[in-house]
Amino acid sequence: MKRVFGVVALAAAVFVAQGASAQTLKQVKDRGVLNCGANGQLAGFGLPDAQGNWAGLDVDVCRAVAAAVLGDAKKVKFVPLTAKDRFTALQSGDVDLLARNTTWTESRDTTLGLNFTGVNYYDGQGFMVRKSLKVNSALELNGASVCVQQGTTTELNLADYFRANKMQLKSVTFADADQTVKAYDAGRCDAFTTDASGLYSERLRLAKPDDHIVLPEIISKEPLGPSVRHGDDQWFDVVKWVGFAMVDAEDLGVDSKNVDEMMKSTNPEIRRLLGVEGNFGEQLGLTKDTFYKVIKQVGNYGESFERNVGSGSPLKIDRGLNKLWTKGGIMYAPPIH
Amino acid sequence: MTMSEGDLAVAELRFIRTETLEQQPPPSSLTGPIGWARENLFSSPFNIVLTILIGLLVLWIIPDLLRFMFFDAVWTGADRDACLESVQNRTIGACWPFVWERLPYFIYGSYPIPERWRVDIFFVLLAVGVAWLLWLNAPRRDIGVVYSFVVLPIVSFILLHGFEAIGLPVVDTVYWGGVLVTMVVASVGIAFSLPIGILLALGRRSNMPTVKLFSVVFIEFVRGVPLITVLFMASVMLPLFVPEELSPNKLLRALIGIAMFSSAYMAEVVRAGLAAIPKGQFEGAMAVGLGYWQMMRLIVLPQALKITIPNIVNTFIGMFKDTSLVFIVGIFDLLRTIEVSRIDPKWATPVTSTTGYLVAALFYLVFCYGMSRYARMTEARLGKADRR
The verdict on B114 touching A (C-beta cutoff 8 Å) is no
Nearest to B379 by CA among B263, B130, B371: B371
Query: Across the interface, do B340 and A47 touch by the CB < 8 Å criterion?
Result: yes
The verdict on B240 touching A (C-beta cutoff 8 Å) is yes
- Contacts with A, B 283-322, CB within 8 Å: none
In CATH, A17-122+223-327 is 3.40.190.10: yes
Q: Measured between alpha carbons, how far is A248 from A69 in angstroms, rounded to an integer?
A: 19
Q: In the CATH hierarchy, which fold is given to the domain comprising B179-346?
A: MetI-like fold (1.10.3720)
pLDDT at residue number B281: 92
Q: Is B317 helix (H, G, I), strand (E, B) or coil?
A: helix
Per-residue pLDDT band for A20 (boundaries 50, 70, 90) equals very low
The answer to whether the A17-122+223-327 and A125-220 domains have the same CATH topology is yes
Task: Please list every residue in chain B whose beta carbon sits closer than 8 Å to the beta carbon of residue A207.
Answer: 84-86, 350
Confidence check: pLDDT of A205 > 80: yes
A126 or A40: which leads in pLDDT: A126
The verdict on B346 touching A (C-beta cutoff 8 Å) is yes
CB atoms within 10 A of CB B58: 10
In degrees and rounded to multiples of 5, residue A35 shows phi and psi of -90, 115
Query: Across the interface, do B236 and A52 touch by the CB < 8 Å criterion?
Result: no
Q: What is the DSSP track for B182-239?
A: HHHHHHHHHHHHHHHHHHHHHHHT-S-HHHHHHHHHHHHHHHTS-HHHHHHIIIIIHH
| Of B111, B112, B330, Cβ closest to residue A82 | B330
The verdict on A103 touching B (C-beta cutoff 8 Å) is no
Residue B173 near residue A80, CB atoms below 8 Å: no
Q: Measured between alpha carbons, how far is B351 from B68 in angstroms, rounded to an integer?
A: 10
Looking at CA atoms only, how far is residue A165 from chain B in angstroms?
34
Query: Across the interface, do B330 and A48 touch by the CB < 8 Å criterion?
Result: no
pLDDT at residue number B209: 94
Confidence check: pLDDT of A82 > 50: yes
Query: Across the interface, do A40 and B330 touch by the CB < 8 Å criterion?
Result: yes
| Of B84, B113, B240, Cβ closest to residue A92 | B240
Confidence check: pLDDT of A9 > 80: no
Looking at CA atoms only, how far is residue A262 from chain B in angstroms?
34
Looking at CA atoms only, how far is residue A274 from chain B in angstroms?
33
pLDDT tens track for A283-331? 899 999 999 999 999 999 999 999 999 999 888 888 988 999 999 999 9
Nearest to A197 by CA among A211, A177, A183, A182: A177
Q: How far is CA B252 from the centre of its chain?
A: 22
**CA–CA distance from B287 to each of A63, B202, B291, B294, B299 (Å)?**
72, 20, 10, 12, 12
Query: Across the interface, do B105 and A13 touch by the CB < 8 Å criterion?
Result: no
- Contacts with A, B 139-168, CB within 8 Å: none
Q: Measured between alpha carbons, how far is B109 from B134 in angstroms, rounded to an integer?
A: 28
Looking at CA atoms only, how far is residue B59 from chain A in angstroms?
25
Looking at CA atoms only, how far is residue A163 from chain B in angstroms?
33
Least confident of A40-49, A197-206, B5-14, B361-370: B5-14
The verdict on A232 touching B (C-beta cutoff 8 Å) is no
Nearest to B281 by CA among B308, B307, B302: B302
CB atoms within 10 A of CB B257: 27
> Which chain B residue's Cα is nearest to A9?
B241
| pLDDT tens digits in sequence order for chain B, 388 residues long | 455 566 656 656 677 778 888 888 888 777 788 888 888 888 889 999 999 999 999 999 999 999 999 999 999 988 888 888 878 888 888 999 999 999 999 999 988 888 899 999 999 999 999 888 888 788 888 888 888 888 998 999 999 988 888 888 888 888 888 999 999 999 988 888 989 999 999 999 999 999 999 999 999 998 888 888 888 887 777 777 766 666 667 788 888 888 889 999 999 999 999 999 999 999 999 999 999 999 999 999 989 988 888 888 889 999 998 888 888 777 888 998 998 888 888 888 888 989 999 999 999 999 999 988 988 888 888 777 776 6
- Contacts with B, A 131-170, CB within 8 Å: none
Domain ranges of chain B: 38-75, 105-171, 179-346
Domain ranges of chain A: 17-122+223-327, 125-220
The verdict on B89 touching A (C-beta cutoff 8 Å) is no
**pTM of structure:** 0.80
Query: Across the interface, do B349 and A204 touch by the CB < 8 Å criterion?
Result: yes
Looking at CA atoms only, how far is residue B323 from chain A in angstroms?
17
**CA–CA distance from A327 to each of A319, A323, A332 (Å)?**
10, 6, 11
Q: What is the DSSP track for B91-155?
A: ----BHHHHHHHHHHHHHBT--GGGHHHHHHHHHHHHHHHHHHH-TT-S-HHHHHHIIIIIHHHH
Strand partners for A115: A228
In CATH, A125-220 is 3.40.5.50: no
Confidence check: pLDDT of A45 > 70: yes
Give the mean pLDDT of A43-66: 92
Residue B111 near residue B171, CB atoms below 8 Å: yes
**CA–CA distance from A330 to each of A44, A57, A91, A247, B280 (Å)?**
20, 17, 30, 11, 84
- Contacts with B, A 242-301, CB within 8 Å: none
- Contacts with A, B 51-70, CB within 8 Å: none
